[in-house]
Amino acid sequence: MEERATILAAISTLPPSQLSHLSLSLLSATHLHRLRLSSVLSSPSLFSATLRHLHSISLPEKYLLIARHLLFSLHRITTHFLSDLTIPSPPSPPMSTAIRQRDLNAVLLLLFFCETHQHNPTVLEENYSDWRLSLCNIFSDKLLTAAYSPVGASTWTALAPYVDMVSRSWRLVKISCGGGKKGASPETMAGLPGVEVKEGGRECVICKEEMKVGKDVCELPCEHGFHWMCILPWLKNNDTCPCCRYRLPSDDVFGEIQRLMDMLIKLSGRQSLV
C-alpha cells in the first residue's frame, strides 16, 4: 500500500531516541483504541447504540468523523519530527475538530467495518443480529495474532497497527482533501513574523512591486517575503505560499490532513499520494 509505505518511510528518518518515543506513543494509542472497540463489540446495548448513531448521520458526516480521527492520528505522528528545525511545528488540532466519546466509538466501529469488508466481506452480508458476534470473533482472532507476534520483533511491529489505521483512513477521506480554497487559520496569520528588508531588488510576487530597504515585510515559514497588505488578504482565502505552495496551518480539517500528509511525503522523499 503506497500510503503505508510513505508513512513508514517518513518515520524511518527519525533518530533512534525519537523513534522509540513515537513507538511507545502509538502503541499506547493503539491499545486504547482496541479497548474502546472491545467495549463496543462486547456490549449488545453499546453496539446497537453506536450502530444507530452511524445510521443517523449522512455519508459526508461519516467522512468528517474519519477525517477528525485521522487528523489527531497524524498530529500524534508528526509532533515527533519537531527537532528538525526545517519542519515547522504542526499546531494542535482546533477544538472544533475534537471527537466526543460517542463519535470515537462510531469511527472505530466504522473503520472496523471497512477492514472487515476488505478481508471478510461475507460477514456483513449476514443478518444484522449476527453481526456483533461475528465481529467479536474476528476482533478476537486479530488480537491473538498480535499477541503472538515474535517477541522483540522490533519497533516496526508496534507501529504497524497504527500506521495501517492511518493509511486506511487516508484512503477513505483523501478524495475530500483537494477541493475548494482553504484560508490559513487566524492564529497562524497573527503569528507571522515581520522582518526588515536588508537589501534591494526583492519583489513582492503578489503586487509585483519592490520591497523597499528598511521596510517591515511579512515572512512566511518557507522564508518568502511579501508586503503585509498583499499577503494577509491572500492568506484569508489560500493556505499556501504564492511562491512555492508551502502549506500553512488552517482551521479546515481536510486542509490540515493534507498539510500533515504533505509533510510526511516530503520527509519520505516519495511522490504525492493525490
**Residue 180 pLDDT exceeds 80:** no
Average pLDDT over residues 76-94: 58
**Residue 245 falls within a domain, yes or no?**
no
pLDDT value for 121: 81
Q: State the DSSP H helix or E strand holding residue 18, giving kind and residue range, or none if neither.
A: helix 16-42
| Whole-number percent of the chain with pLDDT over 70 | 84
Q: Give the 3-state secondary structure percentages of the chain, helix then strand then coil, rounded to 5.
A: 60, 5, 35
What is the reported pLDDT for 27? 87
Stretch 142-170: mean pLDDT: 72
In whole angstroms, give the CA distance from residue 132 to residue 48.
9
Whether residue 96 is found in the same domain as residue 49: yes
Instruction: Check whether residue 142 and residue 29 sit in a common domain.
Output: yes
DSSP strand E in the chain: where?
194-196, 216-219, 225-226
* Residue at 111: amino acid letter: L
Domain limits at 89? Answer: 2-179+251-268
Instruction: Answer whether residue 134 shows pLDDT above 50.
Output: yes
Three-state DSSP class for residue 218 = strand
Is 273 within a domain?
A: no
Whether 221 and 94 share a structural domain: no
- Cell output for 158: 508496534
Instruction: Decide: 179 and 249 in contact? Cβ < 8 Å.
Output: no
pLDDT of the residue at 154:
57
pLDDT value of residue 140: 86
More confident residue, 190 or 2: 190
21 and 106 together in one domain: yes
